Chains A and B, each alone.
Chain A
Amino acid sequence: MLEIKDLHANVDGKEILRGINLTVKPGEVHAIMGPNGSGKSTLSAVLVGNPAFEVTKGSVSFCGKDLLEMSPEDRSHEGIFLSFQYPVEIPGVSMVNFMRAAVNEQRKYRGLPALNASEFLKLMREKREIVELDNKLANRSVNEGFSGGEKKRNEIFQMAMLNPLLSILDETDSGLDIDALRIVAEGVNKLKTSENSCIVITHYQRLLDYVKPDIVHVLYKGKIVKTAGPELALELEEKGYDWIKKELGE
């Protein structure tokens, strides 16, 4: 589904990604861990086409198409979704109008007719239940005045609405209390099928207790330095990153 080859990227002229290689197959859950500043968020930003990041080398193909050639909106239409680490507040734009625009543009891209008002509201209602998102929040401006937990739940709600092939969860667990973490993780699991895949970026094991990864990668200084099964996450939780640094001869 996703194939990243020798990906290099800069931000403000500074090289952050220094040759990432990663393959994600349908149905897989990958966890990417790593110390602060290793390039985890940069990787997610590059995959969704954030203009602040410049790809200097390498290739990314998604379902056989050249992802780096696509606009951010077309990447979304093709099925890539990013749950933002810091969801953006958009005062004055209601969740309903925002989601309607998003869903209908995706449908248009895929040659489907736009949903009418009642179909759309029905869809909203259905998907809201997945993350127990209050109806009141759905009627408010996008993320405005939402608590940290509500914002993250709202991200997963949007994920449910757009039904992506590849979801990237960028530190979706940060700032969540235990109950909110459980709701968010259960939401992610409910949306999981054998067709779609997930990249979970996190510092901690606790999200991975709920969302079980198939493969765990360690990103360090812009490269994937270690790849193993779920036991790697437990080991990192216990021992930190120093032993990996030692292995690398630092």
Chain B
Amino acid sequence: MSVEQQYIDLFSQQKDSICRHSTDVLNLQRESAFEYFQQLGFPTRKQENYRYIDISKFFEPDYGLNLNRLDIPVNPYEVFKCDVPNMSTALYFVVNDLCYSKDCSDSNLPEGVIVGGFNEVAKTHPELLAKYYGKLADSSKDGVTAFNTAFAQDGIVLYVPKNVVVDKPIQLVNILRSGVNLMVNRRILIILEDGAQARFLVCDHAMDQVKFLSTQITEVFVGKNAMFDLYELESTHTNVVRINNMFVKQASNSRVHLNGMTLHNGVTRNSTHVTLAGEGAEVNLCGMAIADKNQQVDNNTMIDHVVPNCTSNELFKYVLDDEAIGIFAGLVLVRPGAQHTNSQQTNRNLCLTREARMYTRPQLEIYADDVKCSHGATVGQLDETALFYMQQRGISIREARLLLMFAFVNEVIDTIRLDALKERLHMLVEKRFRGELNKCHGCAICK
């Protein structure tokens, strides 16, 4: 029996209860997505974009799915009390895929801003969901996207109306919580109308030591002149598999900053697809991974320069210890006519042991002749001459290595435009390198 078969059976048998516990907009796309899933199946290493990790095998184990939306006995507001120190955020929780819509008492978001679960937003703003849901994530192109679209029942929606500036960062804490092995299929939909501004921090955590498999599809629409920062921080544990497909579409003169940081994980696959659809749009796409033991981190990015005069900067850094595996594949596509594209891609990696493996694959496809595009990728070890220089000054070899490792990843952390988060991350990264952040203790950001 193929890996897919158990899910095909499950969908056929449970389709009614999946739909009953979800909402019309999501249900409308389920059937066609399921058909695509049957055709495509889960990705295997035969597909170029999945060459190094066999995604399909992670779907083999028998996970529980909470299709009937039984309440998980947890009150996240009890478990996670504080914000990032010195940073007040509007704080929201998604436990597995269920959004706890009651936000912080002091959040006070500007009028018209919507943050909430799909089922809840569907009641008040069905037209909004209908207009945007599933419009970027194309089920016909990717097995995981199709699978998620067929099974996802909920998640979170963020909407910022035209010209509204949300000063306070919005923080979403995704918590995986279960007594048995669990699969979670979650959606995130983010819409910034023209001229809107917001900063969004997403923290991924796992509370229990069971096996988790989460698939998450994130769709982000950024209007003209809008500004959006999205920081994603994963601090889970070695039994967690996270597959995240993100799709971003930017209108003209919009500014987007994306930063995905993997602090602690099991297997992580982040696919990020950015479409620069309006002239003058700019994206900074950054990422960092710290992995040891048998952890695996795969960042697959695609930046699509559709129109002229857009800018993209990519910076990804990995520190791999023990037998960890890192993968970076970055495609920059400059379409015909996308003149004056300015694109830069950098991927630098440290392999601290002989057993650690890094696969890096920068790709440029350029179909315009007046562009400035550059890329660089390196895999190396810590600089021996720098280590010795520090030792000569009395710094122990262990501290010297740590200093160089911080320096290495700080370049990515320093792109963060939230000072409190930046400081917090410096501390978390230090703990991580010192081996003091071995498992998830709830929200690492909050504690």
**Residue of B with least CB distance to A74:** B394
Are B394 and A109 touching (Cβ within 8 A)? Answer: yes
Query: How far does the alpha carbon of A162 sit from the alpha carbon of B403 in the complex, in Å?
Result: 19
Contact yes or no, A72 B391, CB < 8 A: yes
B374 CB within 8 Å of chain A: no
Size category, A interface: 20 to 34
B363 contacts the other chain (Cβ, under 8 Å)?
A: no
User: Which of A18-26, A82-90, A175-183, A213-221 interfaces with chain B?
Assistant: A82-90
Residues B386 and A98 in contact, CB atoms below 8 Å apart: no
Complex CA distance for A241 and B385, rounded to whole angstroms: 32
A77 at the interface (CB under 8 A from B): yes
Q: Which one of A71, A98, A158 contacts B391 once the chains associate, using CB atoms below 8 Å?
A: A71
Q: Which residue of A has the minimal Cβ distance to B411? A: A92
Residues of A within 8 A of B408 (CB): 92
Chain A residues with Cβ under 8 A from B407's Cβ?
A: 90-93, 141
Neighbouring A residues of B397 by C-beta, 8 Å: 71, 73
Q: Is A193 an interface residue (CB 8 A)?
A: no
State which of A4-12, A99-107, A119-127 sits at the interface with chain B. A99-107
Known contacts A73-B397, A101-B399; A90/B391 CB under 8 A: no
Q: How far is the CB of A111 from chain B (nearest CB, A)?
A: 14
Cβ contacts under 8 Å, A81 to chain B: 392
Query: A56 contacts the other chain (Cβ, under 8 Å)?
Result: no
Determine the distance from Cα of A158 to Cα of B389 in the docked complex, in whole angstroms: 12
CB of B410 within 8 A of CB of A92, answer: yes
CB distance from B348 to the nearest CB of A (A): 11
CB contact list, A157-176 vs B, under 8 A? 158, 162
- Most B-side CB within 10 Å, residue of A82, A90, A158: A90
Interface pair B403/A101, CB less than 8 Å apart: yes
Q: A97-B403, A101-B399, A101-B403 are in contact. Are A90 and B389 (CB under 8 A)?
A: yes
A105-B396 contact given A88-B386, A91-B407, CB 8 Å threshold? yes
How distant is B57 from chain A, measured CB to nearest CB, in Å? 38
Alpha-carbon distance between A97 and B386 when the two chains are bound, in angstroms: 14
Q: Which of A87, A92, A97 has the most CB of B within 10 A?
A: A92
A229 within 8 A of B: no
Q: Check A73–B389 contact: CB distance below 8 A.
A: no
Structural contact, A84 and B389, CB atoms closer than 8 A: yes
B396: which A residues are within 8 A, CB to CB? 73, 105
Q: Is the CB of A87 within 8 A of B389?
A: yes
Instruction: Say how far B434's CB is from chain A's closest CB, in angstroms.
Output: 14
Interfacial chain B residues near A99, Cβ < 8 Å: 393
Nearest CB of B to A91, in Å = 7
How distant is the Cα of A141 from the Cα of B404 in the complex, in angstroms? Answer: 11
* B-side contacts of A89, CB under 8 Å: 386
Please classify the interface of chain B as helix (H, G, I), strand (E, B), loop, or mixed, using the class held by over half of its residues.
Answer: helix
Q: Are A98 and B406 in contact (CB under 8 A)?
A: no
* Min C-beta distance of A232 to chain B, whole Å: 29
- Measured between beta carbons, the chain A residues less than 8 angstroms from B128 are none
Tell me if A233 is interfacial: C-beta within 8 Å of chain B. no
Picked from B383, B395, B410, the residue with its CB within 8 Å of the CB of A73 is B395
The answer, among A88, A102, A141, for a CB contact under 8 Å with B395, is A102
Which residues on B sit within 8 Å (CB–CB) of A48? 392
- Which of the four size classes fits the interface of chain B? 20 to 34
Residue of A nearest to B394 (CB): A76
A51, CB-defined interface residue at 8 Å? yes
Q: In the docked arrangement, what's the CA distance between A90 and B386, Å?
A: 6
Convert A58-77 into 0s and 1s, putting 1 for each residue whose CB lies closer than 8 angstroms to a CB of B.
00000000000001110111
The answer, among A82, A97, A141, for a CB contact under 8 Å with B392, is A82
The residue in chain A whose Cβ has the minimal distance to the Cβ of B385 is: A88
Q: Is B388 an interface residue (CB 8 A)?
A: yes
Q: Is B368 an interface residue (CB 8 A)?
A: no
Given contacts A72-B388, A88-B386, contact A102 B393 (CB under 8 A): yes
Residue pair A105, B385 in contact (C-beta under 8 Å)? no
Which residues of B have CB within 8 Å of A106?
394
Q: In the complex, which residue of chain B has the Cβ closest to the Cβ of A45?
A: B388
Q: Which residues of B contact A36 (CB under 8 A)?
A: none
- A76 CA to B408 CA, complexed, in Å: 25
Q: Known: A91-B407, A93-B403. Contact between A98 and B394, CB under 8 A?
A: no
Q: Is B207 an interface residue (CB 8 A)?
A: no
In whole angstroms, how far apart are the Cα atoms of A240 and B239 in the complex?
Answer: 71
Contact of B388 among A50, A101, A102 (CB under 8 A): A50
The distance in angstroms between the C-alpha atoms of A102 and B383, with both chains bound, is: 18
Q: Indicate which residue in B391, B399, B404 contacts A76 across the interface (CB closer than 8 Å).
A: B391
In the assembled complex, how far is the CB of residue B392 from the closest CB belonging to chain A, in whole angstroms? 5
Question: Which residues in B have their C-beta under 8 angstroms from that of A49?
Answer: 391
Q: B residues within 8 A CB of A101?
A: 390, 395, 399, 403
19 CB contacts below 8 A, A to B, read A49-B391, A50-B388, A51-B388, A73-B391, A73-B392, A76-B394, A81-B392, A88-B389, A90-B403, A92-B404, A92-B406, A93-B403, A93-B404, A98-B390, A98-B395, A101-B395, A105-B394, A105-B399, A162-B394
Which residues of B line the A interface, CB within 8 A? Answer: 383, 385-386, 388-397, 399, 403-404, 406-408, 410-411
**Given A75-B392, A88-B383, 6 new contacts (CB under 8 A):** A51-B388, A72-B391, A73-B396, A92-B407, A102-B394, A141-B407
